Structures are given as C-alpha cells and as structure tokens.
Amino acid sequence: MSVPFVVQARCGEARAGLLQTNHGSVETPVFMPVGTQATVKSLASGDLEALGAQIVLANTYHLAMRPGAGLVRDMGGLHAFMAWPRAILTDSGGYQVFSHEGRRRIDDDGVTFHSHVDGSLQRLTPESAMAIQADLGSDIAMAFDECPASDASGEVLRQAMERTTRWAQRCLATTPAPGQLRFGIVQGGADLGLRTGHMAEIAEMSFDGVALGGLSVGEPPETMHAVVREIGPRMPEARPRYLMGVGTPRDLLVAITSGIDMFDCVMPTRAARNGRLFVHGGHINIANAVHCTDALPIEEGCPCEACRRYSRAYLAHLYRVKEILYYRLATLHNLQHYLSLVRGARQAIVEGRLAAYAAQIAAAT
Amino acid sequence: MSVPFVVQARCGEARAGLLQTNHGSVETPVFMPVGTQATVKSLASGDLEALGAQIVLANTYHLAMRPGAGLVRDMGGLHAFMAWPRAILTDSGGYQVFSHEGRRRIDDDGVTFHSHVDGSLQRLTPESAMAIQADLGSDIAMAFDECPASDASGEVLRQAMERTTRWAQRCLATTPAPGQLRFGIVQGGADLGLRTGHMAEIAEMSFDGVALGGLSVGEPPETMHAVVREIGPRMPEARPRYLMGVGTPRDLLVAITSGIDMFDCVMPTRAARNGRLFVHGGHINIANAVHCTDALPIEEGCPCEACRRYSRAYLAHLYRVKEILYYRLATLHNLQHYLSLVRGARQAIVEGRLAAYAAQIAAAT
C-alpha cells in the first residue's frame, strides 16, 4: 500500500507531516474544526478559509439524518454542498450512535437506533456507514467502530475491540469514493495492554491512517495522557495518526509531543458559544461582569476579526442580549486560537524546539 | 439654519441628495438597516461596510435598557462600541415605549413604562431621550414623539400631535452631542388634514430633517401610500425627508417617487430570519420543500456572499436544522436586495428615468 503521507521533520517523537488529499494537502499536526451539519457552527466556508483551516470534520450520522446522504451526493457531494474547497474528514457515525445510550441495540452486524430528529428507527452497519461516506464524498472516511463508555469493564472493552476489528475488515471490503482515504480506529479504553494489542490488529490492515478512538469520553485527562504518551509513539510510522475528539490546548500539546498528527474537537466552537474564550494563559468567561466595561480585545495581537475590531465590552453585550453576531465572533476567535496553537507546534517541530514551545504554553496556562 | 443636505438631482418629485454627517456622507435615497441592539442581527460591521450601507439605525430604548447609554458613552460612543465608522441614526425610544400597550402611562411630561428586560419601572421624557442619544453619540437623533395606534380616533391623533409638538420644542432645547443632527417627527395618522397641519408645525422648527412617523403601524398599504403621495412632495425641500419604519420594496418605490429620502425597516432582516428571501419579482420561502434540492443560488447574478457561494439547497438545509450560519447568509442577501433596490432608484433619479425603473420593478412584482 502507498499512503499519500510524508513525515517532513521530527522533533523527539513529534512529527511534522504532509497529507495529500483529493482537496489539497494538509500540513500536520493539524486541528480539524467540527462542522457537524455541514457547517462549523456560525461560520461560513469563507471564514474557515480565512482562518487557514485546511481540513474540517463533518458528521456522518447527522448528515445521514438531515439532509440525507443521497441528497448531498445529488448536489455534487459535501464539498460542493457546503462550498468548501479544502479537505473533509467524515466520522463513521459510530460515536454518535453509541452515545444514544438506551436508545440503541448493537448486534454483530450493526446498530439499530432511533433518530434524534423524528424518533424513526434507523440502522447503521459497517457497509452502510462507508456507503454514506462515499456518497458524501469526504476525503477521509473513518471505519465504523464500537466505542464503549469510559467506565466499561475489561470484558466490554474486549468485545468492542473484537467487533471493531471485524467491522474494520468489512469497512475495507467496501468501495470508497474515488480517491477517498480510509482510517481505522483503535479501541481498548485506558488499558495499555488492550490498546497495544488492538493497535497491532488495526495497523496490519490496509488503512491509510490509524486513529485512537474511545478516548476523552469521560476519563480523567491524566488517564488519557498516559495512553497517548504510551501508544502515540508506537503507532504506524508511515501513516497519519489521529486522536479523535481531543481536546484542550494542553491535551493537544501532550499528544503532538507523543507523535499524534491529527485532532478534532468541538471544544473551541462549543466553548465559544458558552462564553469561554481562549487566551494565552487560559481563558476568559465573557459572561463575567468585569468584561462589560473592558475596552480591550479578547486578546491583543490576535489577528481574528473579533480581536481586530471589537472590545470585550461589545462582545459581553452581544453575549448578554443573545445576539447572533456574538456566536460568530467568539467562534472565529477560539478557532484562531486553536489553529494558531497547532500551527505554532508544527513550526516548532520543524525548528527542533517543540519542548520549549510546549513548556512556554504550559507555563502560561 | 444651515442643514448639511443638498439635492443633487430631481426626477419628478423624487430627489437624489447628499447628507453630510459626522461619520461620512450619505447618498439619498437611502435605506438604513436596523441595528436594534448595536448590531444588525447576525451581521458584523464589516459585513455592512461590504454591503455598502452608509448609515444604520440603532434603537435608543433597547440600548438604554442594555447595555445602558452611560456605558456606551464611556466606551467612546456607539460608533466605537459597535466598530461602525459610518453614520448612525438613533430613534428616540418613543415608538418602542408606546408599543408597550397596557404597560406604560403617558403624561404631559413623558412616559413611564416597565422594562422588557427585568420589568423595572423606567421613564423617558423628551429631555432624557435626547440625553441618551447624546450619550450614544449618533449622527442623527430623532425627537421624542407620541406615536398613536393606527386605529386611533381623531381626538387621540390630535392630542398626540399637540404633545409631539410640545415635546419637539423641548427636544430642541436640549444640548446635542457635537455635530449631532436632529430630526423632527410629523404625526397625524392617515388624516391628510391633520398631517398637513402637523407638518407645518414641525417644519417651522429648526430640525435638520423631517420624518413621517406613525405610518406602517397596521393601516393598509394603500392608506399609507395615499398619505405619502400627498404629504411627501410638500415636506420641506431643503431638508432630508424620512419615512420611518417603511417598508416593502413597493412601499419604498412609492415613497421615493413621492420625494422621500430616507427609510428604515426591519423587514429585510426579520424576513430573512423567517425564511423569506427577496428576489426580483417577489420572494421565495426557503422553507418550501422545493428548495431542498435546488442547486441554484437565491438569485443568479446577486453579488452577496450567499448567492456567490451557496445553493438554495444548502440554505434550505441550514434553515431546517436551525444553523446559525443561515441567519447571516439570509440577512446578507435581503439587505443586498434592499440596498441595491434603493441605489438603483437613486441612479435612476440621476439619469431621469425613475418612472421606468419603478415600473420595471413593479412589473416584476
């Protein structure tokens, strides 16, 4: 197999790489903003281009429910539909479906669940999850996995791993969209032995990349960090390594230092909508009364539209009166923060000073 | 008195003018997008600049409630607060307060009412309404008037006119912000005799512009058009003429043809949020199922971001799943439509072909 990925520089276990996709190259490490319903909430595709995002994530489950994968296919695929010319990764829908605790039934063939939109009975299998992603036409499709809860027993973890492996084989047996890459997912919870064993199984398959799933699902950050520090460096060298659903700025630096290349997380966008705005050294909560009369921008020197043009006082006003504009400005800022953080880490890897970069960020935090 | 307004061209009763303000010149006829809470809902000030808006309206009542006029003053005034470098007109708060039917008490000195935010008892007088507008630092402040309901009796209309005249004198006795223009408001309902009489009273005062208030408050469009056709041409020649709270594209053309120079209305922005998107020939409702698979833009050839980049199908999806991005794109489009319509009318006046322009728009509608 030939994976369109090259590692261009190393710094300790960390790597700076380049992943070629059907829609442009992606410089790794990379943070992927989450565009669940074919839009990163509150932003237009032009906003994401201006922020320098090279790849976004979209959710198979949500798009299959609304507007439907067939409609997206008929409209020319997800890139045309959301007018986004750069790369898209789609998750498999597994995580969303397994989050439907009590409303879904798993069997060896797939998962039956009720739609969150209209309660209708729906079913996802490895084959249908891949077919939907082929219809969407994403650049990277994720295998359909079983993602157990963070407090699952060893036996449950083991069963999920075994099923995920069988499903991974079935996913690879399907026909992808032309040029579509496919990533496998490693489960195993926080058990290093299980993780190592499952990684070996997934790494043997002809996936174009390997992801760690089932982390950041409720376990303490230290637990997740321990897994990432141990497993990250031993993931396949020649393929992109993706840590799913992670995380805080600190989580990202721990993972980058451990050799992870790709991330996605709703944190910057969801936190923005809830008033939490990231700054070097932590974050501010725009709901705090002190910001109502603060003429400073969220962060001085930040190049985002919110910081270039508006004061914290104005944002605090918009937030309090629930004006739509607040959500866009706050999201622009938090994504700028995340994308800059990861771009800075990439540059530090290239220049052989990642430890100093991470220490500087950690000291501020 | 010297009013910073010149009529540059005429076409029948219609005028193309230029109004100088503290924050740039305004080419009339002009449509003013409504930015109630110091933001045109869903848009950033940069979006409004890109649309070519030369002046926006902000609401004294809403801003006095939240964040408070003193806070806006302390933050450098409304232009600095909302980062809008062009002109701002503020209403007087009268219309909002009088809309609080059953929750307000009018006396000869002012109006007592309950805040819509926290129910607290508030009071507006001619003096306080002007003081708030001076604090906000708008380029044009509106006199504090009494705006009766559309079905008010002649006696109620007469009382409101008399009170509005007394209050207008008190408004003019206050000190404006430096360079702030002040417009008087003509009441009189749909009674042409009352309107004519009240206009004469207001026209005698040293206001920088004259507005028609108390229209488009529930009366049939034909009734409003009759008033505008009769009164518009007889409003003071040398000062800008402003028709408050109007209206549909057709209303605007009737009024421009009758010599009106300025308009504001929530219609384009509110209709956008409700799924009604203006196109030449009328409007489409994006909620209609037919648009879910429509690959065309809202309107071909429209230069707005929504039409340049996205399909109706995508907008229909965003609308159905209530994504924040929908509101911005829809608002951009409807404001583009309104601003283009009025700019087109201005150009037609300059070129002496307004009747043909209006007929062409009317034929399409």
- Does the pLDDT value for residue B346 go beyond 90? yes
Average pLDDT, chain B: 96
> Is the confidence at residue B54, as pLDDT, over 90?
yes
* Phi (first) and psi of residue B351, to 5 degrees: -95, 5
pLDDT digits over B235-284, tens only? 999 999 999 999 999 999 999 999 999 999 999 999 999 999 999 989 99
The pLDDT of A311-325, averaged and rounded, is 98
**How far does A332 lie from chain B, in Å, by closest CA?**
12
- Decide if pLDDT at B285 tops 80: yes
Predicted confidence band of residue B146 (pLDDT cuts 50, 70, 90): very high
A38-42, A168-172, B41-45, B361-365: which has the minimum mean pLDDT? B361-365
CB A286 within 8 A of CB A319: yes
What residue type is assigned to position A344 of the chain?
G
pLDDT digits (tens, 9 = 90+) for A54-108: 999 999 999 999 999 999 999 999 999 999 999 999 999 988 888 876 778 999 9
Taking residues B120-142, report their average pLDDT.
Answer: 97
Cβ–Cβ of A314/B37 closer than 8 Å? no
Q: Closest-CA residue in chain A for B68? A: A317
pLDDT for residue A365 is more than 70: no
Task: Please state whether the peptide bond connecting residue B126 to the residue before it is cis, i.e. omega within 30 degrees of 0.
Answer: no
* Separation of alpha carbons A261 and A254, rounded Å: 12
The rounded percent of chain B whose pLDDT value lies above 90 is 92
Predicted local confidence at residue A149, as pLDDT: 86
pLDDT at A363: 83
The pLDDT score that the predictor gives to residue B281 is 87
One of A135, A139, A208, A264 is an active-site residue; which one?
Answer: A264
Task: Give Dmax over CA atoms of chain A in angstroms.
Answer: 60
Above 90 in pLDDT, residue A333? yes
Residues in A lying within 8 Å of B, measured between beta carbons: 37-39, 41-46, 66-67, 71, 74-76, 81-83, 292-293, 295, 305, 309-311, 313-314, 316-318, 320-321, 323-325, 327-329
Between chain A and chain B, the number of residue pairs with CB atoms below 8 A apart is 106
Structural domains of chain A ordered from first start? 5-264 (3.20.20.105), 266-365 (no CATH)
- CB neighbour class for A239 (10 Å; exposed up to 12, middle 13-18, buried from 19): buried
Q: What local confidence, expressed as pLDDT, does residue B1 receive?
A: 61
pLDDT above 70 as % of chain A: 99
DSSP string, B144-158: ------TT--HHHHH
**Of A23-27, B156-160, B272-276, which gets the smallest average pLDDT?**
B156-160
Do B44 and A321 lie within an 8 Å CB cutoff? no
Query: Cα A293 to the chain's mean position, in Å?
Result: 36
Q: Is B261 a catalytic residue?
A: no
Distance of CA A304 to the CA centre of its chain: 21
B257 vs B349: CA distance, rounded Å: 9
pLDDT at res. B150: 84
Selecting from B46, B75, B325 the residue whose C-beta is nearest the C-beta of A313 gives B75
Choose the mutation target among A314, A315, A327, A332 for the interface with B, i.e. most B CBs under 10 Å. Answer: A314
> Is 0.95 topped by the overall pTM?
yes
Q: CA A343 to CA A30: how far, in whole Å?
A: 7
- What is the per-residue pLDDT across B304-337, written as a single tens digit (0 to 9) for each? 999 999 999 999 999 999 999 999 999 999 999 9
Query: pLDDT value at position A332?
Result: 98
Phi/psi of residue A313, nearest 5 degrees: -60, -45
Q: Which two tokens stand for residue A129?
A: 């999850």
Which pLDDT score, from 0 to 100, does residue A281 have? 87
Residues of A in contact with B39 (CB under 8 A): 318, 323, 325
> Is the pLDDT confidence value at B179 over 90?
yes
Asked whether the predicted pLDDT for residue A47 surpasses 90, the reply is: yes
pLDDT of residue A94: 85
Determine the length of chain B: 365
Spatial CB neighbours of A229, under 8 Å, sequence gap ≥ 6: A254, A258
Chain A residue numbers touching B318 (CB-CB < 8 A) = 37, 39
Strands of the A181-186 sheet, one edge to the other: A30-32, A262-264, A241-243, A209-212, A181-186, A140-142, A87-90, A55-58
C-alpha distances (whole Å) from B38 to each of A85, A319, B47 are 34, 12, 14
State how far residue A80 is from chain B, nearest Cα, in angstroms: 9
User: ∠ CA(B344), CA(B347), CA(B348), 5° rounding?
Assistant: 85
- Summarised one tens digit per residue, pLDDT across range B208-232 is 999 999 999 999 999 999 999 999 9
**Side-chain half-sphere CA neighbours of B299 within 13 A:** 22
Give the phi and the psi of residue B260 in degrees, each rounded to 5. -80, 145
Cα(A341)–Cα(B208) distance, rounded to whole angstroms? 53
A chain contacts of residue B323, beta-carbon cutoff 8 Å: 37, 39, 41
Separation between Cα atoms, residue B327 and residue B270, nearest integer Å: 10
Nearest-CA distance from B126 to chain A in Å? 26
B100 has a pLDDT exceeding 90: no
The predicted structure's pLDDT at residue A362: 83
Whether residue B251 lies in the annotated active site: no
CA B35 distance to own-chain centroid: 10
Residue A1: what pLDDT? 61
Q: What is the DSSP string of A206-254?
A: --SEEEE-S-SSSS-HHHHHHHHHHHGGGS-TTS-EEETT---HHHHHH
Q: Is the pLDDT of residue B99 over 90?
A: no
Other residues' Cβ atoms within 10 Å of the Cβ of residue B191 = 17
Q: How high is the pLDDT of residue B365?
A: 64
Mean pLDDT for the stretch of residues B96-113: 86
* Mean model confidence pLDDT for chain A: 96
Interchain proximity B314–A81, CB inside 8 Å: yes
